[in-house]
Amino acid sequence: MLDTTDSDLAHLLPSLRGLVPVIQERYADEHRGYRLFVAETRRTTEEQARRFADGSTRCDGVRRFSMHNFPVSYAVDLWVQEDVATWRVTWAMRHYDNLGAIIHDLAAEGHAIEWGGGFRGFYDGPHVQVTKAVLHADLQRSLTSAGYPLVADGVWGLRSRTAARAFTHSDDGRASPALFAELATHGHLVDVLG
Ligand SMILES: [Zn+2]
């Protein structure tokens, strides 16, 4: 039996957590007989590797990670339920396209979010994430707090990669879950946890 209670909201980035009820309300208003529930937020490296092995994601969690892999998740998966006798999950693409339209509207209203159905070459209809620019700016502010001053412009360029390498004492200059975790461990996350 599938558990259809909203899961894991505590592990969601606060700015995104605040938007989830807005998205759910709009969906229920605009599409009578259907509703969205939170199927997944944060995904551990182990869980990501398992998904990669079974072919349900392009990200292995190490070489290529997902916005779900951060200790505070920058992504949420919303599944559509259909009111037929009992609320049942549906995978019909048009219901996820309807989710995409709502995310598109919210983005137009100024929210820095995007929908996985619009990803090039990989339709991920239930997936909603905060833009990479927001993640990058969060990490840039946090590295600044850690003593590596950066402009929080959301563009992860040479300066950001160099700062990340210096802070982590590693060759990995990516805006990665590991960098995020290390900044958190040392108390340098700035304006991230709400
Ligand atoms: Zn997802």
Q: Show the domain range for 93.
A: 9-130
Expressed in angstroms and rounded, the spacing between residue 92 Cα and the centre of ligand 1 is: 17
User: Cα(68) to centroid of ligand 1, in Å?
Assistant: 7
| Whether this model's pTM surpasses 0.95 | no
Domain count of the chain?
2
**DSSP strands (E only) in the chain:** 34-40, 75-84, 86-90, 113-115, 127-130
Distance 141 CA to ligand 1 centre (A): 25
Does residue 167 contact residue 146 with C-beta atoms inside 8 Å?
yes
In a domain, 41, yes or no: yes
Q: Specify the pLDDT at position 93.
A: 96
8 A C-beta contact, residue 76 and residue 16:
yes
CATH number of the domain at 77, please: 3.30.1380.10
Q: Show pLDDT as tens, one digit a residue, over the chain (194 residues).
A: 344 456 678 889 999 999 999 999 999 999 999 999 999 999 998 999 999 999 888 899 889 999 999 999 999 999 999 998 888 999 999 999 999 999 999 999 999 999 999 888 889 999 999 999 999 999 999 999 999 999 999 999 999 999 999 999 999 999 999 999 999 999 999 888 87
Are 24 and 118 members of one domain?
yes
Same domain, 45 and 67: yes
Distance of CA 77 from the midpoint of ligand 1 (Å):
5
Q: Is residue 107 part of a domain?
A: yes
CA of 16 to the centre of ligand 1 (A): 13
pLDDT at 56: 83
Q: How far is the CA of 46 from the centre of ligand 1 (A)?
A: 16
Residues 44 and 61 in one domain: yes
CA of 67 to the centre of ligand 1 (A): 8
In whole angstroms, give the CA distance from residue 130 to residue 122.
18
| Domain shared by 31 and 17, yes or no | yes
pLDDT of residue 85: 82
Same domain, 15 and 30: yes
Q: Which of 84, 109, 130 is the last residue of a domain?
A: 130
Clarify whether residues 159 and 86 are in a common domain: no
Residues 53 and 96 in one domain: yes
- pLDDT value, residue 7: 64
Angle of helix 158-168 versus helix 177-185 axis, rounded to 10: 50
Q: How far is the CA of 115 from the centre of ligand 1 (A)?
A: 9
